[in-house]
Amino acid sequence: MPGIKRKKCRNCKTLFIPDARNVKRQKYCREPQCRKASKAASQKRWLEKPANRDYFRGPENVQRVRRWRKQHPGYWRRASQNNRDALQESLNEQLIEKIDINCDFTDNALQDLLTIQPSVLIGIIAQLTGYALQDDIAMAARRMQQFGNDILNLPHEGGRHGKQAAHLPRPGPQSS
């Protein structure tokens, strides 16, 4: 490539020939570790700008993300284009032999089962509610936890010990 001078990579310090379309701006070679270093440096420069420091924080940014998600419903659920056609043939249904196993599945407490896979629990909450933001999922989880506490007659967060939940329908007077 005539006219393109070699440059020294800022990460590995080796000489490289920059891409012809990006000669003036390319400071890193094409090695994977150097590309990671370039990305890290770029992010650091972006975050150092005062306008970008709190770009991902605060209630106004939560609202910005909510507005975007409302305009793009189901974006995070869409299957990628690469997963549409599987390379293998679909499997035929196989009959499962029913085996009578005498084991008691009530040995494990519900709390033990739920703490095993917190990401599964978060995924279930996201699937049931349709939320993808952590703030929304946390709010839904707190609401579900309160429902569970009400069902199990556990004390409320504020120390009240009510037998009946305020958000559950109460039986009305019997009409004659």
Residue ranges of the domains in the chain?
Answer: 11-53, 110-167
What would the pLDDT profile of 107-152 be if each residue is shown by its tens digit? 555 555 555 667 777 888 888 888 888 888 888 888 888 888 888 8
pTM of full prediction above 0.75? no
- Residue 159: DSSP 8-state: S
DSSP letter at 86 equals -
3-state secondary structure of 8: strand
155 contacts 149 by C-beta, under 8 angstroms: yes
Higher pLDDT, 164 or 14: 14
- What would the two tokens of residue 72 be? 């793009």
pLDDT at residue 16 in the model: 94
Q: Is the predicted pLDDT of residue 44 greater than 90, yes or no?
A: yes
SS3 content of the chain, % helix, strand, coil (to 5): 45, 0, 50
| DSSP secondary structure letter of residue 166 | T
CA dist 170 → 124, 144, 152, 158, 165 (Å): 29, 19, 17, 21, 9
With a cut of 90, say whether residue 172 has pLDDT above it: no
State how far the Cα of 9 lies from the Cα of 114, in Å rounded to an integer.
49
Instruction: Take residue 154 and report the two structure tokens written for it.
Output: 């556990």
Nearest to 137 by CA among 76, 53, 80, 79: 76
Say which residue the tokens 């800022």 belong to.
10
Q: In this prediction, what percent of the chain has a pLDDT beyond 90? A: 24
Do residues 163 and 153 touch, judged by C-beta distance below 8 A? yes
Encode pLDDT of 63-111 as tens digits: 988 899 899 888 877 666 555 555 556 666 666 666 665 555 455 555 5
The more confidently predicted of residues 119 and 8 is 8
**What confidence score (pLDDT) does residue 38 get?**
96
